[in-house]
């Protein structure tokens, strides 16, 4: 690490300039370390680099969400979404598209760098957060540590004892993980929907478990008491929470900027990566305005490059770099090992006497845990559906142990990547979810809802995911610490390291792995 700190001390403001070939773009701005993306992987890298005294630049394609709009709030509401809701769309694309088959949910909006994106591939679409904080701005805050045995199965070369003894606790503490007060949970109307789902699961002999969250439950109780402005109790989540949630901009990223060594550029999308003759990395980034127009194309240089663009962002950059020849020595495993964490969403109709309540908190706090069932391992999050009236629907996001994986390939015609995931691969997830929920329906004499996912009477929404994982899998496209094979001083720190499935909601795992990578890199890596 000495050499990395020395590099920081020297400033390296002109890396790439002196030795760049004439044909290579000159790096107009340089820093010893650059981090691409400001989600979990990027935020951990930025903080630990900053604390080590290394001048670091973070490039984020989304905007900083800290300024109130004309309505006085930073994020728009879920019930009346405006342009702040989605990334350059003319209409919102909510996961739950219909109610009684009617398109009552989505609304017309004007294009803008909104906070939630839905990236469409041929047979799978992927929800991701855009902005300073990445997915932490839009997610449900469920902060779940995976089962140790399954973590060890997915990461056979990682020391699980060290992860569970050091890096998971470190991640949870930094993220501000807390749990709902069980007594309040049992008594409040805001979690009636969860208790009703718990009862239905118990009737089928299934176990439920509380799950922690990064939403401040003390704040939520004050919302319920009427002494704090409502956020989770006002339906806010996928288009951002105006209060209560400890998103990364309030935890890791605030601490990173607090070191004085970290600078953040927003609305800058890194388009390509290459290497200069002196071994430094060159990045080309498009700076956009709020209409999406490219107002400037910038060149950056750095000695140490950390990729935290998420499973989609990082994998796309590396596949493009390998297949266009700008980083030709990248491993063939780059682009492979992708999966949607077995995600399937579904709804059940309860009996009229099993109410779910008009009032529903948006932060899930419980899951049905049938992972130990070797024939059909599923962990199903009990999800809210806050519509402001009683609808008797129990909603779930099932995470199934789907072994299917897909690869990204470069498409020269569009300059982007394609994902080879198929509908048949999704059917594996929905088949597993169906087995579990058939049991629940049979025990309760209840039915599925057919009206929630479009006009085709679809029961299982297995064509989208909240949990994109893989593409640069740890130990395959990288070494066991996220160092990218084929290149020195190039690292991956985000969800692309996770091999397609982790059995629970993934951000605690992503954060803990990034902590492990940064501890090792800062201790060991030296400039050649």
Query: Is residue 127 within the footprint of ligand FAE (CB under 6 A)?
Result: yes
Is residue 511 within 8 Å of 171, Cβ to Cβ? yes
Phi, psi (deg, nearest 5) at residue 414: -100, -15
How large is the greatest C-alpha to C-alpha distance in the chain, in angstroms? 75
Q: Which is nearer to ligand FAE, 40 or 168 (CB)?
A: 40
Strand ranges (E), 246-401:
262-265, 268-275, 281-288, 294-307, 343-349, 366-370, 378-383, 393-400
DSSP lists the bridge partners of residue 469 as 339
Minimal CA–CA distance to 366: which of 351, 384, 347? 384
Query: Binding of ligand FAE at residue 135 (CB under 6 A)?
Result: yes
Residues 6+ apart with CB under 8 A from 299: 25, 26, 27, 28, 29, 282, 283, 284, 285
Using the rule CB under 6 A, give the single segment among 57-65, 105-113, 287-295, 429-437 that binds ligand FAE. 57-65
The CB-side HSE value for 323 (13 A sphere, CA atoms) comes to 20
Q: Is 505 in the site for ligand FAE (CB under 6 A)?
A: yes
Binding string, 317-336, against ligand FAE, x = CB under 6 A? x-------------------
Interface mask toward ligand FAE for 199-238; x: CB under 6 A: ---------------------------------------x
Comparing CB distances to ligand FAE, the nearer of 185 and 392 is 185
> Under the criterion CB under 6 A, does residue 256 sit at the interface with ligand FAE?
no
Decide if residue 470 touches ligand FAE (CB under 6 A): no
Q: Mask of contacts with ligand FAE, 10-49, x by CB under 6 A?
A: --------------------------xxxxxxx-------
Length of the chain: 528
Residues 401 and 500: their CA atoms lie apart, in Å, by: 10
Q: Using CB under 6 A as the criterion, what x/- string covers residues 261-300 for binding ligand FAE? A: --------xx------------------------------
Element (H, E) at 447: strand 447-448
Task: Respond yes or no: is residue 21 known to be catalytic.
Answer: no
Closer CB to ligand FAE, residue 275 or residue 298?
Answer: 298
Residue among 313 and 337 whose Cβ is closer to ligand FAE:
313
Spatial neighbors of 271 by CB under 8 A, at least 6 apart, are 284, 285, 286, 297
Decide if residue 310 touches ligand FAE (CB under 6 A).
yes
The catalytically annotated residue of 60, 223, 391, 467 is: 467
Pairing of strands 343-349, 56-59: unpaired
Nearer of residues 45 and 356 to ligand FAE, judged by Cβ: 45
User: Nearest distance from residue 178's CB to ligand FAE, in Å?
Assistant: 14
Distance, CA of 316 to CA of 119 (rounded, Å) = 12
Stretch that binds ligand FAE, among 156-164, 295-303, 435-443, 506-514 (CB under 6 A): 506-514
Whether residue 24 lies in the annotated active site: no
* Residue 89 in tokens: 């769309």
Residues forming the active site:
381, 467
Binding site for ligand FAE (CB under 6 A): 36-42, 59-62, 127-130, 134-135, 138-142, 238, 269-270, 308-311, 313, 317, 466-467, 494-495, 505-507, 510
């Amino acid at each position: 690490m000495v050499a990395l700190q020395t590099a920081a001390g020297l400033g390296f403001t002109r890396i790439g300039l002196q030795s760049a070939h004439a044909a290579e773009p000159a790096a107009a701005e340089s820093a010893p370390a650059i981090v691409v993306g400001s989600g979990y992987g990027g935020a951990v890298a930025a903080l630990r680099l900053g604390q080590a005294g290394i001048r670091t630049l973070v490039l984020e394609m989304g905007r900083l969400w800290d300024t109130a709009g004309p309505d006085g709030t930073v994020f728009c509401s879920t019930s009346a979404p405006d342009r702040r809701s989605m990334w350059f769309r003319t209409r919102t694309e909510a996961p739950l598209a219909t109610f009684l088959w009617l398109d009552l949910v989505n609304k017309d909006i004007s294009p803008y760098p909104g906070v939630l994106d839905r990236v469409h591939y041929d047979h799978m679409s992927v929800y991701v957060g855009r902005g300073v904080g990445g997915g932490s701005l839009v997610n449900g805050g469920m902060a779940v540590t995976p089962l140790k045995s399954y973590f060890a199965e997915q990461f056979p070369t990682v020391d699980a004892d060290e992860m569970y003894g050091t890096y998971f606790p470190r991640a949870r503490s930094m993220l501000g993980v807390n749990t709902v007060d069980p007594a309040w949970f049992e008594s409040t109307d805001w979690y009636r929907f969860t208790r009703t789902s718990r009862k239905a699961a118990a009737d089928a002999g299934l176990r439920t478990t509380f799950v922690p969250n990064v939403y401040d439950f003390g704040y939520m109780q004050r919302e319920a008491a009427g002494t704090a402005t409502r956020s989770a109790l006002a339906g806010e989540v996928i288009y951002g929470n105006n209060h209560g949630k400890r998103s990364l901009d309030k935890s890791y990223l605030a601490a990173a900027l607090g070191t004085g060594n970290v600078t953040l550029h927003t609305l800058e999308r890194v388009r390509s990566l290459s290497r200069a003759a002196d071994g430094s990395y060159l990045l080309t980034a498009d700076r956009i305005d709020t209409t999406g127009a490219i107002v400037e194309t910038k060149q950056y240089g750095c000695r140490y490059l950390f990729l935290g663009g998420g499973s989609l962002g990082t994998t796309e950059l590396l596949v493009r770099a390998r297949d266009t020849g700008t980083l030709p020595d990248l491993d063939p495993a780059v682009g492979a090992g992708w999966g949607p964490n077995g995600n399937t969403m579904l709804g059940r109709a309860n009996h009229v006497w099993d109410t779910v309540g008009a009032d529903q908190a948006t932060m899930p706090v419980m899951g049905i845990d049938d992972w130990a069932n070797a024939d059909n391992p599923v962990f199903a999050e009990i999800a809210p559906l806050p519509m402001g009236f009683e609808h008797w629907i129990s909603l779930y996001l099932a995470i199934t142990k789907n072994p299917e994986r897909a690869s990204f390939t470069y498409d020269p015609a569009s300059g982007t990547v394609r994902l080879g995931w198929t509908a048949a691969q999704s059917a594996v997830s929905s088949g597993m979810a169906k087995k579990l929920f058939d049991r629940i329906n049979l025990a309760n004499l209840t039915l599925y809802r057919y009206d929630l996912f479009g006009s085709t009477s679809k029961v299982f929404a297995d064509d989208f995911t909240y949990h994109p994982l893989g593409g640069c899998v740890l130990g395959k496209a990288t070494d066991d610490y996220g160092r990218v094979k084929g290149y020195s001083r190039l690292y991956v720190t985000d969800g692309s390291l996770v091999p397609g499935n982790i059995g629970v909601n993934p951000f605690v795992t992503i954060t803990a792995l990034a902590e492990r990578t940064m501890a090792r890199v800062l201790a060991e890596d030296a400039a050649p």
